[in-house]
């Protein structure tokens, strides 16, 4: 989540609103929005309810589907990733001195929290057993215990200027985050990272050489993109106190991908102690809601979002925007924020949705259908089959429909003058049990996991997160667990670096593997049989 400080105002609420980002809608047409809230004195407001909040998208009121208040049932797991090279000792001391206040903010707002620690220099120190560190591969809900962990750290070494931050972040993503927790990583470093392809560190100390036996090997195989993907798959957000993008663009890349925040360690150096408290404060006072977009179509447009709050006789507002995936589109706008009712609100520029935004693509599709009859010799019966198949699909967007019609026409154009019976228009099925449908049937279903899922698209994502095509609500299943795609008459299962693994017929999937009809598929502890 990207928080943006609001300007002061008279007797008003200060709203810090996150950018929803570039997104597909979930199955409900829902858009998630995170925000922080403080009063005019900068103190967190912790008792806001759904009735105190209004959401508007492109000026239209939007229904709030889910609302999660401060401390209302969502735990938070926070891992500090600390650079322990020689220049970092003042920052390590500041973390230690402010950790009790950091934790008190969480406790006062009823956040169920745990803290973890990862240390690195030119290698990830705490990832190896010989670090002899109590905090290795664990977390604690005791702030004083965590402070003692930090107190054992002594900065030193480092060799060359870049350090192994990217491997440290990738390793942090493997720590035991709770399945239902908000996962946050806080990186603190004053150096740029090693990246894949930049070669070995020939100035490394004895410990570095011990853990890098090949003197000619790269320090890391990671890049900003690969680390962003790993954190994203696990639903983790990065707060980075690090060098600015013109020195180390990788940090900004990961922060933006995970909707976190980047603090410039160069300009914030003199107020670092205060900054640690601010980060804890923003985490402690977060709210989250999901609203139903008034226009649940992936048309590539840019949507403005306004959040209005009224609480205890005070008011506040903030604005942001997001861009929907799909055809068309416009540039993403920079979010703006607001404060009290007396403040003026500047409207964001967006691509307005008029009737012709839908009519033009529809006319194009009708034109393609007419062209397919003339150019490719498609019969009325075949066109009817295409239309019926599309009517069974779960409201595909216009871009998808156009691609399916073009693909159908191209396939039919290869036929002879005496055509064979037409192939199905698309491998998309309804719940009516039509022949050729693909289904995942649970073996010994465990509530609340459904007994059966129907695969409504040729390629689906599977996981515990609500943004997946198939949501499997079980703690053994990762947020983004696997992907299942139809290929050449079979299916291919790809594991997305899940915590508890993916298996086909009791064989663990390393990367991707083919799944035949009737095979057993296990995701975490949940077993299915795939029928197609």
The top-scoring range by mean pLDDT among 22-31, 272-281, 357-366, 517-526 is 517-526
The top-scoring range by mean pLDDT among 36-45, 184-193, 321-330 is 184-193
pTM as predicted: 0.51
The mean per-residue pLDDT over the stretch 484-500 comes to 86
Q: CATH classification of 14-70+287-337, choosing from 3.40.50.720, 1.10.10.60, 3.20.20.80, 2.60.40.10?
A: 2.60.40.10
Dihedral over alpha carbons 101, 107, 111, 114 (to 10 degrees): 60
Q: What is the pLDDT of residue 11?
A: 47
Indicate the pLDDT class of residue 16, thresholds 50, 70 and 90. Answer: confident
The residue length of the chain stands at 532
Which is more confidently placed, 80 or 29? 80
Residue 441, pLDDT above cutoff 90: yes
Q: What is the pLDDT of residue 498?
A: 82
Q: What is the pLDDT of residue 476?
A: 82
Q: Is the dihedral of CA 121, 126, 128, 132 positive or negative?
A: positive
Residue 227, pLDDT above cutoff 90: yes
The rounded mean pLDDT for the chain is 75
Residue 431, pLDDT above cutoff 50: no
Number of CB atoms found within 10 A of residue 219's CB: 25
Give the β-pairing of 507-508 and 502-504: antiparallel
The mean per-residue pLDDT over the stretch 501-527 comes to 90
The mean per-residue pLDDT over the stretch 26-47 comes to 73
Q: What is the pLDDT of residue 329?
A: 38
The mean per-residue pLDDT over the stretch 384-389 comes to 50
Indicate the pLDDT class of residue 286, thresholds 50, 70 and 90. Answer: confident
Q: What is the pLDDT of residue 422?
A: 42
CB 37 within 8 A of CB 13: yes
Residue 331, pLDDT above cutoff 60: no
The answer to which of 235-249, 282-296, 307-321, 409-423 has the lowest mean pLDDT is 409-423
Indicate the pLDDT class of residue 167, thresholds 50, 70 and 90. Answer: very high
Q: What is the pLDDT of residue 308?
A: 93
Residue 104, pLDDT above cutoff 60: yes
Q: What is the pLDDT of residue 26?
A: 54
The mean per-residue pLDDT over the stretch 110-137 comes to 87
The answer to which of 5-14, 167-176, 332-341, 424-433 has the lowest mean pLDDT is 424-433
Write down the CATH number for the domain with range 76-284.
Answer: 3.40.50.410
The mean per-residue pLDDT over the stretch 187-207 comes to 81
- Looking at the DSSP assignment, which residues form a beta bridge with residue 462? 470, 482
Residue 73, pLDDT above cutoff 90: no
What percent of the chain shows pLDDT beyond 70? 70
The answer to which of 15-19, 107-111, 355-359, 521-525 has the lowest mean pLDDT is 355-359
Q: Sketch the domain layout of the chain as residue ranges.
A: 14-70+287-337, 76-284, 355-412, 439-531
Q: What is the pLDDT of residue 363?
A: 59
Find tokens 């750290």 and name the residue: 153
Residue 410, pLDDT above cutoff 50: no
Q: CA 231: distance to chain centroid? A: 8
- Looking at the DSSP assignment, which residues form a beta bridge with residue 443? 527
The answer to which of 27-41, 91-105, 238-252 has the lowest mean pLDDT is 27-41
Q: CA 516: distance to chain centroid? A: 31
Q: What is the pLDDT of residue 67?
A: 85
- CATH level 3 topology of 439-531: Tumour Suppressor Smad4 (2.60.200)
3-state secondary structure of 9: coil
* Angle separating helix axes 249-257 and 165-172, nearest 10 degrees: 20
What percent of the chain shows pLDDT beyond 90? 23
Indicate the pLDDT class of residue 263, thresholds 50, 70 and 90. Answer: confident
Residue 192, pLDDT above cutoff 50: yes
Q: What is the pLDDT of residue 326?
A: 66
Which is more confidently placed, 397 or 229? 229
Q: What does 452-514 look like in DSSP terms, one character per residue? A: EEE--SSEEEEESSTTSSEE---TTS-SS-EEEEEETTEEEEEE-S-SS-EEETTEE-SSEEE
Indicate the pLDDT class of residue 398, thresholds 50, 70 and 90. Answer: very low
The mean per-residue pLDDT over the stretch 421-433 comes to 36
Q: What is the pLDDT of residue 386?
A: 47
State how far the Cα of 395 lies from the Cα of 302, in Å rounded to an integer. 21
Q: What is the pLDDT of residue 388?
A: 52
Q: What is the pLDDT of residue 319?
A: 86
Q: What is the pLDDT of residue 297?
A: 81
């Amino acid at each position: 989540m990207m928080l943006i400080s609001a300007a002061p105002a008279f007797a008003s609420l200060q709203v810090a609103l996150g950018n929803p980002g570039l997104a597909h809608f979930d199955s409900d047409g829902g858009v998630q929005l995170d925000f922080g809230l403080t009063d005019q004195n900068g103190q967190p407001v912790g008792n806001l309810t759904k009735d105190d909040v209004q959401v508007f998208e492109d000026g239209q009121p939007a229904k709030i589907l889910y609302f999660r208040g401060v401390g209302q049932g969502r735990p938070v797991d926070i891992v500090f990733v600390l650079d322990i090279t020689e220049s970092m000792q003042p920052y390590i001391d500041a973390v230690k001195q402010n950790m009790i206040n950091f934790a008190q903010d969480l406790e006062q707002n009823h956040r169920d929290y745990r803290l973890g620690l990862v240390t690195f220099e030119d290698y990830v120190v705490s990832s190896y057993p010989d670090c002899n560190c109590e905090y290795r591969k664990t977390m604690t809900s005791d702030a004083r215990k965590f402070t003692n962990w930090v107190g054992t750290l002594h900065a030193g070494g480092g060799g060359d200027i870049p350090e192994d931050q990217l491997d440290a972040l990738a390793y942090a993503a493997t720590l035991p985050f709770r399945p239902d927790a908000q996962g946050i990583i806080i990186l603190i470093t004053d150096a740029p990272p090693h990246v894949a392809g930049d070669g070995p560190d020939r100035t490394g100390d004895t410990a570095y050489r011990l853990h890098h036996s090949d003197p000619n090997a790269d320090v890391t195989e990671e890049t900003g993109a690969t680390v962003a993907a790993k954190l994203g798959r696990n639903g983790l957000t990065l707060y980075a106190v690090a060098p600015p993008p013109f020195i180390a663009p990788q940090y900004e890349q990961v922060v933006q991908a995970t909707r976190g925040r980047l603090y410039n360690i160069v300009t914030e150096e003199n107020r670092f102690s205060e900054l640690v408290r601010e980060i804890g404060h923003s985490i402690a006072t977060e709210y989250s809601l999901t609203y139903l977009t008034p226009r649940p179509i992936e048309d590539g447009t840019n949507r403005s979002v306004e959040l209005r709050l009224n609480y205890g006789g005070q008011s506040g507002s903030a604005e942001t925007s997001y861009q929907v995936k799909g055809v068309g589109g416009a540039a993403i706008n920079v979010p703006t924020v607001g404060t009290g009712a007396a403040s003026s609100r500047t409207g964001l520029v967006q691509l307005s949705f008029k009737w012709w935004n839908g009519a033009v693509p529809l006319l194009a599709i009708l034109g393609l259908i007419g062209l397919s009859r003339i150019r490719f010799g498609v019969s009325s019966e075949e066109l009817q089959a295409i239309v019926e198949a599309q009517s069974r699909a779960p409201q595909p967007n216009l871009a998808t429909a156009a691609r399916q019609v073009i693909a159908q026409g191209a396939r039919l154009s290869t036929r002879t003058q005496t055509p064979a019976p037409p192939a199905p228009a698309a491998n998309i099925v309804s719940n009516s049990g039509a022949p050729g449908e693909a289904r995942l049937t649970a073996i010994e279903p465990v509530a609340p996991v459904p007994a059966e899922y129907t695969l409504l698209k040729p390629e689906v994502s599977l996981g515990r997160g609500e943004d997946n095509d198939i949501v499997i609500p079980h703690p053994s299943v990762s947020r983004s667990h696997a992907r299942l795609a139809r290929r050449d008459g079979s299916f291919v299962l790809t594991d997305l670096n899940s915590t508890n693994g993916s298996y086909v017929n009791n064989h663990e999937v390393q990367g991707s593997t083919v799944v035949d009809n009737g095979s057993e598929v296990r995701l975490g502890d949940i077993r299915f049989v795939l029928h197609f």
